[in-house]
Amino acid sequence: MTTSLSAELWPNVQPDAARRLMLAAVESFADRGYHATTTRDIAAAAGMSPAALYVHFPSKAALLFAISHSGHEQTLKLVESVATGGGGAKERMRGIVEDFVAWHARRHTVARVVQYELQALPEKEYAEVADLRRRIEHLVRDVIADGVEKGVFTVTDLRTAARAVLSLGVDVARWYSSRTGKTPKALGREYGDLVLRMLGATV
């Protein structure tokens, strides 16, 4: 069960032991926060020895980086594939919001670590993740700019509008739970409508 979840979360990470450690780290960070978690806690949660952990990750920060980097890469990929795909600005914006919101709802525990533990990353690793964040924001901004140019969106400040779009999606990770009574997909669709209206489009 745990093994298949970790494989689903990080299909590109090998071997399985590394993925199990990442999942144990996510759960420990979510429970107690990054700073109060030790590598010993994470190893124990993954059913491994601390020495076995170090085979895959040299430090707790390396684990946080692996989780954070992968989460940002995944969301960049989904935003990129819709943003640079076909369709008008409205269709692409709807697609971005649907996928971005659904990802933050479905992966809310991972997403909380991805979004809220950034400042615990070492400087170099932080810079790498910040670059992925900038690319995500630019893609969203470009779609809004295209919509404004084509006369389908009206916004006073591109930067604020792009930030608000992403902000709505990110914050889903904070409040969404399995008791929300709405599937990630259904929530994504509702947010698609809300965002299009926010950008001045007719829905």
Binding residues (CB under 8 A) for its own copies: these are 32-36, 115-116, 156-157, 160-161, 163-164, 167-168, 170-172, 174-175, 182, 187, 190-191, 193-195, 197-200
The per-residue b/e assignment along 80-106, b for 16 or more CB within 10 angstroms, e otherwise, is eebbeeeeebbebbbbbbbbbbbbbbb
Closer to its own copies by CB, 18 or 196: give it. 196
Q: How far is the CB of 30 from its own copies (least distance, A)?
A: 9
Compute the distance between CA of residue 190 and CA of residue 197 in angstroms, rounded to an integer: 11
Q: How far is the CB of 193 from its own copies (least distance, A)?
A: 7
Closer to its own copies by CB, 62 or 198: give it. 198
Which residue stretches of 33-107 are H helix? 39-45, 50-56, 60-83, 89-106
Q: How far is the CB of 67 from its own copies (least distance, A)?
A: 16
Closer to its own copies by CB, 148 or 164: give it. 164
Q: How far is the CB of 37 from its own copies (least distance, A)?
A: 8
Closer to its own copies by CB, 52 or 203: give it. 203
- In whole angstroms, what separates CA 134 from the centre of its chain? 13
Cα separations (Å) of 7 from 10, 20, 21, 132, 177?
5, 8, 12, 23, 21
Compute the distance between CA of residue 53 and CA of residue 18 in angstroms, rounded to an integer: 8
Q: How far is the CB of 144 from its own copies (least distance, A)?
A: 12
Closer to its own copies by CB, 10 or 191: give it. 191
